Structures are given as C-alpha cells and as structure tokens.
Chain A
Amino acid sequence: MPSNKSVSDAPISQFTNCRILREHTLQREDLWVREGKILDPEKLFFDEQGYADQQVDCEASIIAPGFIDVQINGGYGVDFSQPSEDVTAGVSLVAKKILEHGVTSFCPTLVTSPPAVYHKVLPQIKVHDGGPHGAGFLGFHLEGPFISLEKKGAHPERYLRTFRSGGIEDLMEAYGSLDNVAMVTLAPELPRSQSVVRELCQRGITVSLGHSVANLSQAEDAVQHGASFITHLFNAMLPFHHRDPGIVGLLTSDQIPAGRTVFYGMIADGIHTNPAALRIAHRAHPSGLVLVTDAITAMGLPPGHHTLGQQVIEIQGLHAYVTGLPLPYSRRWLINDEFVS
C-alpha cells in the first residue's frame, strides 16, 4: 500500500531516532528496511513514491552491522578443536550464544591439532548464513599446525608441522578437506611456504601470518604471494624493532601491492595487548584493524578446567593459563562487549 508497488508489496519499516554506524561515523539518519533488506529511502521516495508502513522509535540507540569474529576457539563448554562426533551441535550452540553479544558471523578456530582431528571435524559443517537461530558460519579458521616452534604460544609442540613439498599435498595430509575453510594461519618463514600461500589464495582461503618469527621482508614476500591478514598482532610474533619491524611492519609497509590492504586481528582485552600498543597500531593503519576475541571453551562459564584442543586450561579469576605454564600464555575468557568500547 505505501508505494506504487512497482517493486514490492511488502511492508516497509522505518527506524527513526537512531544513530547509524556508517563510513566510520555515527550518523543521525533513519534506517529503512523492507523484507530484510536495507532500502535507499531517496529511491523509495522518488521512484516508488513509497513511505513507511510502520515507524520504530529507536530512542537514540546505535544501529550497527553485526560483528564478525574470525578467531574464536570455542565457548560455553564447546571446544572446536575436539574431535567430536557432532561438531554441528557445538558450533550451533556457540553460534546461538554469541548472537546475544552482537556477533552475527564467525569462523570457528581450530588450534594446532593432529591430522585426525582435522580430518574428522572439517567435513562436518558447510558454510551457511546466520539467522535468528544463530550467527552465520563463514568457514573454519585453521590456526596451525604450520607455525613456528619458538612462537607456538599455547599450541602443543608435538603437532607442529613443516612444509615437505610446499604444495597441496602438505595441506591435504594435514587437514584432509579444505572445502569449509575460510582462513589459515601459518608462519611464512617456513621453507616452501610461498607456494602454499599461493595455493590457498587461489582457493579463496585467506592466508594469515602468525605464530611466526618472520622478519619484515619474509612477511612482505608472503603478502605479495597473497597473504592478507595478521593473526593477533603483537602476540606470537617478533616484537617491533626499529631496524626490523617484523610482521608488525606490514602495517606501514610500502611493499604491499596496489589496491590491497593488510588486515590485522587484535585481541583488545587489555591483557594480550597493552592499550597503548593497540592505539599505535590503530593510528598507523586504522582501516586494517579487526577485533577478534580468540575466545576459548571457558567463555561464558565459571572458573575451572577446560580444554583447548590437546591442552588443558585452567581459569583463575580473569586469566586463563595453560596448565603448568604461567603468563604470557594466558587467554582472556570473558566475552565480547568489553573489547569493543
């Protein structure tokens, strides 16, 4: 009714009195939606001569796109790196729970694991959209096993691997299927990694550099072969040094191919990175910053023991420790909201 029906009969909702997060600012605009799609109200007005069926007063709230978490190892008792029979149930549970925190898409992350785990887990879920039932599944993030020994962090040493042939066989041997994989973290200084980076990029899989002792030129080399992400900047990599900034130097490198951006994940819990370091990274390269939780099984649960793949984690207060190991292998187990402000 509210339009000349040249496009659609469906009712139109207008969200008023809201602030819309758009183009890096909060704009005072109304949001127009029809059948789950955002409308251009000017087009609606002039082309369709339409107006809203119902108006919703947002009371000056912020309307923002849903969050995307590309690094989350589990939560609410679910550990994505466990070779469970029913991975779908675990992913669905987490998907539903994180929806409450504004995350509408995510990449369940698997830490370094034996091949059997990957072979079992990866084929079980296909990429699918989210909805009221839970956040969308974008594909797995495989963090390891092709990472550096010195920077293994909380990953189990005995399952780390290197590239034997530098080709697809290494990947197939380790992971089995790559069909439902969105992202792979690897250390580019490992020999024969360039061809692997190219191979993954050709399949549309994002290659992320992390858990690595690469220097800046090795990192730039990887980017030129297609790598486009950095896994939790500052953590599990060489620190910034003024004569060799290492992977951190990618933020301001001039060797990045034209038209490409290097994105970097940041765990902004105040423990993994000092807020001052976070600000330095943001000021150096604001458009590349991606917030990640790197959340673990214990997220949303009280203190106790939980698993992280092949390791056992103990929660004490606000910190998590790999059993027997002190900081800096701790991980924050609280949930999203505190990071974002």
Chain B
Amino acid sequence: MNIQTTLQISLKTSTQWWQYQNHAVEILFLSRNEEADQSWLVRPRRSHDPSGLLFLFRLTAEDRTMKLIILNDYDQASEWAAKYIRNKILHFKPGPNKFFTLGLPTGSTPLGCYKKLIEYYKNGEISFEFVKTFNMDEYVGLPRDHPESYHSFMWNNFFKHIDIRAENTHILDGNAADLQAECSSFEEKIAEAGGIELFVGGIGPDGHIAFNEPGSSLVSRTRVKTLAKDTIMANARFFDGDLSKVPTMALTVGVGTVMDAKEVMILITGAHKAFALYKAIEEGVNHMWTVSAFQQHPQTVFVCDEDATLELRVKTVKYFKGMMHVHNRLVETPLSQQK
C-alpha cells in the first residue's frame, strides 16, 4: 500500500470497517485540521498478522478523480456549489500578495450559486477583497451597459453585492478595437495572475462549455467565436424574441484555457441538460461535446440536481450518491467559522 494512494472508500457496514483493495482496514483515528487535507490513520485488519501494521494514508478529499455531486434540486445544488467555492477560498487564505483566482460563468444556472455566495459575504463568512475573477465570455458588439451584456449580468447579480474591487475583475471586452488582441491579452492576464485556482462553468444543452460550440478544438485558447444557430435561438428570449437583435459573435475562453485551471467545477441543473451530462461523463472525450474534455482534467467536480442525471446509468448515479457523505465534508463549515 502506498502513501498517497488514492482510495475509493465505500462504507461496507455500519461498523468502522473500510475496504481498500479487498483489504479491510480499520480507521484508528481521523485527523482534520485546516492545513492538511483530511487524513486517516488506518491499520489493515488481517487475521494472520496480529501485530498489525500501521499505515498512514493521506487520503485527500481531493481525489484525482472526477466527482459527481448529485443534489435533490436546483437550490441544494446551488448551495453546495457556493459552499464549495467558499471553502476553497477560505482554505486558500488569500491576502494582499496572494489572490485567489476564480473563473466565473453567466446564465441562469449559476444565479442560485451567486445568491448564496452573496449571502455568505453578508454574513461575514467570506470576503472577496483578495479574489480575482475571470469571466468566461462576453458578446461582441453589445454595448457594455446593455442589460443583456455579461458585464451587466456580473454587476447586477454578483459584483454590486460584494466587496470585490473592480481592478480585480476581468471580463472580455466585446467592443475592443482589436478583438484578437483582446483575447490574447486576456490569456496574458490569467498568466500574470498565476493561473486560475478554480474555474466555475456551466454546460449548454449541446455540451458546450463557455461558447466552445460543438467542433471547437479541445486545446483552444481565448478567441472570437461565431455563435451557432441553436445558441442564437436559445438567447433570443433575452432580446425580446427578436433574432436580429441577438449578437452573432462572442469572445470566449477556450477549452484549453479552462483545462489549465487547477480545478474545474461545472454546474449542471435541469432535465434539458441531462443528455449533455451523459455525453460529457459517460461517453468518450469528443470535440462535439466539449465538456467531455474535462475527463482528462485531474480535478473536476460536476454539481448537478436529480433532473440532470436522468440520462445517466443507474449505476453511475448510485455510485456517486453513495459517495455523498465523503463529498459533503468538502462543504462543511470550516472550524474557524464555527462559533
């Protein structure tokens, strides 16, 4: 048994026996502190080895596996995601010389998550003073103060309610004179900030991440994209149903840009996203379903509600639901916050 081997834990019985590769191991104690990841001191229970051997397993909650977090409904999924982000930031302990870099999405899916984060800020649980944000995309040619621009979205739904400074927010400028230069400069800004710690995103019904429509290269970088007809039609509802008013181009981070992040969290709620989720995690990596690229990312979390799992295999759903008690540790209120 190796130290730092990843471990798939499943609770066998109500006793304290845990299973690891056909060995029953006994949890001797659980140590949790703010600095270290959760670690268990375990001893294999082998009848032919009465002295026992003690092994220290550094079982990180941050397994090198995809985590599929399944909550009952949209509100619970939003809350879980918000708590995860909160805990990540707190754990990071950002400061004036150490900013937490966060990638952010727009759309109806993350609204609940933003609301919860605002609530945590208002409760004093978290501050965004030392957080840098990078948004995924923005329309081309839409005035910045247009109610449907992503600048307006972020201001109204997030920035104006929290204590983030404007110079720490970064949203692509769809009205830049040289769009390609704008995209390159965005990539540079991410690099200057030290890369992204956690990139939060959503998924389109066609499996796209940001505006990386089907067919986008899985190693793409920030660039100008022409929007697919489906996307334009889906967006028409925000422009009084008038197709001619919907922007036809957008600036977007590439799949490769998001893959560079240390960790990725994808929010997926609603039955209309179920097929895309299936394609993303149960089928192969495919540029027609660009979210599938994250199967090759070392640390991805998919947060979804029951409806989004409707196209998954029962086995997959049961497996990950069975892991919830472990995954829920990731969203517990940190000791420092507990009164």
Report which A residues bind B (CB closer than 8 A).
30, 40-43, 45-46, 48-51
Contacts and interface: CB of A to CB of B under 8 A. Distances in A.
A30 B144 CA distance: 20
A42 B152 contact: yes
B145 interface: yes
Given A42-B151, A46-B151, A51 B165 contact: yes
Secondary structure at chain B's binding surface: helix, strand, loop or mixed?
helix
B159 A45 contact: yes
A44 to B, nearest CB: 8
Interface in B151-197: 151-152, 155-156, 159-160, 165-167
Given A42-B145, A46-B151, A30 B160 contact: yes
A46 B144 contact: yes
Contacts of A48: 166
A45 B133 CA distance: 14
A40 B167 CA distance: 17
Given A42-B160, A46-B144, 16 more contacts: A30-B160, A40-B145, A41-B155, A41-B160, A42-B152, A42-B156, A43-B145, A45-B155, A45-B159, A45-B160, A46-B166, A48-B166, A49-B165, A49-B166, A50-B166, A51-B165
14 contacts: A30-B160, A40-B145, A41-B155, A41-B160, A42-B151, A42-B152, A42-B155, A45-B155, A46-B151, A46-B155, A48-B166, A49-B165, A51-B165, A51-B166
Contacts of B156: 42
B144 to A, nearest CB: 6
Contacts, number: 26
A51 B155 CA distance: 13
Closest 7 CB pairs of A and B: A49-B166, A42-B155, A45-B166, A49-B167, A46-B151, A45-B155, A42-B145
B333 to A, nearest CB: 26
A30 B156 CA distance: 11
B189 to A, nearest CB: 15
B175 to A, nearest CB: 12
Interface of B: 144-145, 151-152, 155-156, 159-160, 165-167
A172 to B, nearest CB: 49
A41 B159 CA distance: 11
B115 to A, nearest CB: 14
A337 B55 CA distance: 78
Contacts of B155: 41-42, 45-46
A40 B160 CA distance: 12
A41 B167 CA distance: 15
B154 to A, nearest CB: 10
A43 B159 CA distance: 12
Nearest to A45: B166
Contacts of A30: 160
Contacts of B151: 42, 46
B332 to A, nearest CB: 31
Contacts of B145: 40, 42-43
Contacts of A40: 145
A108 B167 CA distance: 50
Contacts of B167: 49
A42 to B, nearest CB: 5
Contacts of A51: 165-166
A42 B155 CA distance: 7
B308 to A, nearest CB: 32
A42 B151 CA distance: 9
A40 B152 CA distance: 12
